[in-house]
Amino acid sequence: MELGWLLWGAAVLLLLLLLHVLMELSPAVNFALRIGLYCLLCVVASALTVPACLLVNGGRTVKNMRIIKTVVKTFKYFFGLRFEVKGLKNFEVEGPAIIVSNHQSILDMMGLMEVLPNNCVQVGKKELMYTGTVGLIIYLGGVIFINRKSTTSAKMVMAEVAKTMATDNVKVWVYPEGTRNCTGDLLPFKKGAFHLAVQAQVPVIPVVYSSFTTFYNPKKNLFTSGKIKVEVLPPIETKGLTSDDVSDLTDKCFCTMRETLFRLSGRPSEAKDSS
């Protein structure tokens, strides 16, 4: 019996050693294992957090985000990630708001939870619902699901959100690029978030995360430890704006965020580029 346990111990040790050697030798293995660990963490932590959410809050509610946030905030230590956050005071607006931020990777979920204010739900693609326990926890957290393949239905969902934001006093977090983008720059913004802000007459609060490219690049199998700078920018008011102003509002927000992204990432801005 004792010899059996000893053999098991030796086998596990050998496996760990083998994995370590493989990770050292092959960046592809290293990357796959680290991303695999991230996904496993998400799946397992979600499975454990679902009962906690159901017991404490009884069902789908934004209040569950507090519990989810507490759990997710521990993930960074597994990957040697550090966050340096500035401007949290800018979230302290009275009532609802639209928060917009850049979206680089599935890892963003950690950065999101690092700064997430209370009573704030995210807009996510509906496919996320079908990711097992992760989908369940996202559902329980009150995430608003949209069908990106149908503009009409996405617009209808957003219009409904504009109506309920004030009554429920919630903030809504949108990734205006509409998809992940890890190039160190921003994709052109979709206008949904800005229509929503104008319809609900609430401020837009931009949040910018510095580029991950120095420590995370799936194309190069790069995923090491690293520091992420996060800046919550001052709210952009929308009082009195109409649907005619949405394009200008989108452009203004895009330019401010792009400038901030380049500054935080130590990349020369366009203006400096051309000089």
Ligand X SMILES: CCCCCCCCCCCCCCCCC(=O)SCCNC(=O)CCNC(=O)[C@H](O)C(C)(C)COP(=O)(O)OP(=O)(O)OC[C@H]1O[C@@H](n2cnc3c(N)ncnc32)[C@H](O)[C@@H]1OP(=O)(O)O
Ligand Y SMILES: CCCCCCCC/C=C\CCCCCCCC(=O)OC[C@@H](O)COP(=O)(O)O
Residues that bind ligand Y (CB under 6 A): 39, 42-43, 103, 106, 108-109, 125, 128, 131-132, 134, 179-180
Residue 49 interacting entry, from ligand Y, ligand X, none, C-beta within 5 to 8 Å by type:
ligand X
Stretch that binds ligand X, among 20-28, 43-51, 86-94, 211-219 (CB under 6 A): 43-51
Partner residues linked to 81 by β-bridges: 226
- Which tokens belong to 245? 């102003």
E strand or H helix at 235, and its extent?
Answer: none
Would you call 47 exposed, middle or buried from its count of C-beta atoms within 10 A (0-12, 13-18, 19+)? middle
86 dihedral zone (left: phi>0; alpha: psi -120 to 50; beta): beta
Stretch that binds ligand X, among 27-35, 123-131, 214-222, 267-275 (CB under 6 A): 123-131
Going by DSSP bridges, is the β-strand pair 226-232/81-86 parallel, antiparallel, or unpaired?
parallel
What is the total residue count of the chain?
275
Q: Which is nearer to ligand Y, 103 or 190 (CB)?
A: 103
Residue 88, CA distances (Å) to 194, 208, 241 in order: 21, 12, 26
Q: In 3-state terms, the chain is what percent helix, strand and coil (to 5)?
A: 55, 15, 30
195 binds ligand X (CB under 6 A): yes
Q: Which is nearer to ligand X, 68 or 232 (CB)?
A: 68
The CB-nearest residue to ligand X is: 192
Residue ranges in 233-272 that form contacts with ligand X under rule CB under 6 A: none
Q: Which is nearer to ligand X, 45 or 253 (CB)?
A: 45
Least distance from ligand X to the Cβ atom of residue 29, Å = 24
Residues at the site binding ligand X, with contacts judged by CB under 6 A: 42, 45-46, 49, 68, 71-72, 103, 109, 122-125, 128, 134, 137-138, 141, 143, 146, 148, 151, 154-155, 158-159, 174-176, 178-179, 190-193, 195-196
